[in-house]
Structure 1
């Protein structure tokens, strides 16, 4: 897949104008250890792996499979499975083996008198998205399509966006979106509302006057069209989590559309084979009466209080009217399974928007690096900042601004890391195409020697097995002509 060379500033400017219990025993660690390098500037990075994670259904999060479920006749009938996700991020895939006459296929979410479905009609040669409320059905969008059986058919829900895809190869390796719609769906139903989603379940079936022969049907939590914003899961003192030779990290799972369609997940990276990247947890967040896919955050395990600190950015309902950092604490094992966590706004010493939190306890004092953004319209302006609290206080108490780099306005991806026994704040400057390095007073010391790709890749440095690695991402889009901006990027791993 080719790189588009997209600059986030330009894209967002245009869009804005358009209006554990037992966690200590459960989780393995690796010693931080002082490195032999004196400074970050002794590290020289190069790319060792680059690939694209892509799954319409996250492999570990399949909830329904007709191969193991009771067989049901799908001919001309909509089958509701009674199975649903806990958040509006789900997929139904259908093997279509034969369509005779004007037969069709349908999939999505349905209940007694409500449904959100995608359909293919062989008779008219169209795909459509339809919403049913109170027994009344509205077709909100259509597009021409000619699909010849056998083929794969899929409907994905990301927040309130519904996307219909087809795989002409029928192998599951050639998914391409045919149409997508969010605004017209949201005008009729809000799938983020648990009361609404709770009345629907995965559904599929045949349609029309002809005969539809369907094969295997699978449904479950949506995976990703790409990944971005990697942040290593760590202890309060900065040590990364490594268990059974696998490094734990969080990443934003790109959805089929803009930032609201993305969500957050926990992944493991096999240190013996970096191509083995596996999603092990899916995290959603409850606020303001809805469930959202807030993302771009960090997980910190506080050994002293035996709790996870969960930090994330409020991109899940972004509408060009501000972003802020939210937080929660939990004793649940958020490194596996599906979780919906209630969150609150994190009190920060700033009066403007914020995102990309990075939290570490240094010499008894919590330090939080983050992005300050005084404007998102008519264009985005953002720069790195650092706050710190009193020694002995909790991470929510008494944070004061230490400093910020006001000389830059396209810089994000803040990371706190210790290198050679010293602590640094790292960031990513999209204008200069480089990774600035700051001390704990936010004085710029220099830049990392590392390749800088498209978008604004984050400098997530982590020391494992005696080597410095940098997992990051780029701006390569998926099916941008249909889905628009937001479906990026490739996973990139560098090593010094």
Structure 2
């Protein structure tokens, strides 16, 4: 079904400090860096309330220093195993991604994590407060947004009908993708970014970063929510995002939902902080502790929305809803017997009866026969086939991108970055596969 795909290239754009033109936005995704000079180097931020957060490098290695507002004591955090650079570092950097405060050293051209602390858990800092973020002042030669150490959750930017959005400032062989820009930690260290993919030269170029302002039950503050779908509809942009920006499995009642933001600004370029509201996705009759991975399509006069529902963390399956409006959706189907399937994506194929296929990705923790593959469903989520494509590690989304040489599949894997102190979350390589065989008629 849809032919055979073969891997043709891997990409790994790493960018720790991304300079920003104009005032730095009040978002929990910041970075500073300072060239190493002399016996000691220090860099960090100071907030208007007196809070100071810094990275310090000297002959004893790297440590983090946190001094809270109104408190004389400075808390120091050092990793006994990983705190000493293995080679003479060229730069010292400090990043704040969600609650994760992380010190890095640039060694032989590669960034390595040397110290880390959770500001929210260990020090009670409300890192999502917009006024506090706006008051941070850097003390560094380089400062700006945190970029990424890996990319995952790549999805095609589309028109509302599911076709690829064509940016007027780009050549015809370019498409736009959203991605989760991976930080030095799990879900809450990522954020959403927008990239241009040259489908001929197979190169990625960064274009934009998107952040979300939430209020109410889904949390209040500014967040780096990600795993999104960006679509263009009637001159407006819609962004459906998964609320991973503050997810912590340890927190009682932890959940993930989907929000929707709208904007008339060009979200494909620059840095944007968007007001978002909950997008209720139906889970009637399902045991559900959270939903994520939204994909939206307007099919004539009805919306089709694919997503994932979890019966617990982390046991999850594809779901499809439909309705005349996004606030009037009803559950159409759920593949509830699957246990590790996500990346639900609607794909139009004119050879199929109603034109729509639902693609997904079976992770390695699925049931027997449902592991490390890309199942293809109809709109009732009955499996009707599978994509013949390489399956990297993790659960790569089945994102299909049009090109003059046939379809490209854009996936990702779990290749880490930053060294062992990072743990889970810094993945991954972007894995590109090209269609190399003529597809047979489905069904």
TM-score by structure 2 length?
A: 0.87
Residue deviations 1:382-412, cap 9 Å, x none? 00011110xxx3222x211111112211000
SS in 2 for 1:487: coil
Match in the other structure for 1:420: 350
The yes-or-no answer on 1:290 pairing with 2:221 is yes
CA contact (8 A) 2:93 2:103 kept: yes
Equivalent residue for 1:225, pick from 120, 137, 149: 149
The 5 A counterparts of 1:293-332 are: 293-303=224-234, 306-320=235-249, 321-332=254-265
Match in the other structure for 1:448: 387
CA distance in 1 between partners of 2:362 and 2:391 (Å): 10
| Alpha-carbon distance, 1:137 to partner | 4.2
CA distance in 2 between partners of 1:270 and 1:137 (Å): 52
Q: More displaced, 240-249 or 222-231?
A: 240-249
SS in 1 for 2:16: coil
Equivalent residue for 2:196, pick from 243, 248, 268: 268
SS in 2 for 1:492: strand
The yes-or-no answer on 1:51 pairing with 2:7 is no
Residue deviations 1:78-127, cap 9 Å, x none? xxxxx64420211111112x31xxx42111211452211111133x4443
Equivalent residue for 2:95, pick from 150, 156, 164: 156
Equivalent residue for 2:180, pick from 252, 258, 280: 252
CA distance in 1 between partners of 2:278 and 2:92 (Å): 40
**Residues paired across the two proteins, number:** 406
Match in the other structure for 1:363: 300
CA distance in 2 between partners of 1:230 and 1:85 (Å): 24
CA contact (8 A) 1:118 1:130 kept: no
CA contact (8 A) 1:461 1:468 kept: yes
SS in 1 for 2:15: coil
CA distance in 1 between partners of 2:302 and 2:115 (Å): 50
Distance 1:451 1:147, change over 3 A: closer
| Alpha-carbon distance, 1:440 to partner | 1.4
CA distance in 2 between partners of 1:318 and 1:450 (Å): 31
The yes-or-no answer on 1:349 pairing with 2:282 is yes
CA contact (8 A) 2:62 2:115 kept: no
The 5 A counterparts of 1:339-488 are: 339-350=272-283, 352=288, 353-376=290-313, 380-389=314-323, 393-396=324-327, 398-421=328-351, 422-430=355-363, 431=366, 432-465=371-404, 467-479=406-418, 481-488=420-427
Match in the other structure for 1:80: none
| Alpha-carbon distance, 1:466 to partner | 5.3
TM-score by structure 1 length?
A: 0.78
SS in 2 for 1:316: helix
Gaps of 5+ in 1: 1-40, 65-82, 205-216
Distance 1:201 1:362, change over 3 A: same
Match in the other structure for 2:26: 86
Distance 1:125 1:345, change over 3 A: closer
SS in 2 for 1:197: helix
Aligned Cα root-mean-square deviation (Å): 2.0
Match in the other structure for 1:18: none
Which of 1 and 2 has greater Rg?
Answer: 1
| Alpha-carbon distance, 1:372 to partner | 1.1
SS in 1 for 2:407: strand
CA distance in 1 between partners of 2:206 and 2:124 (Å): 33
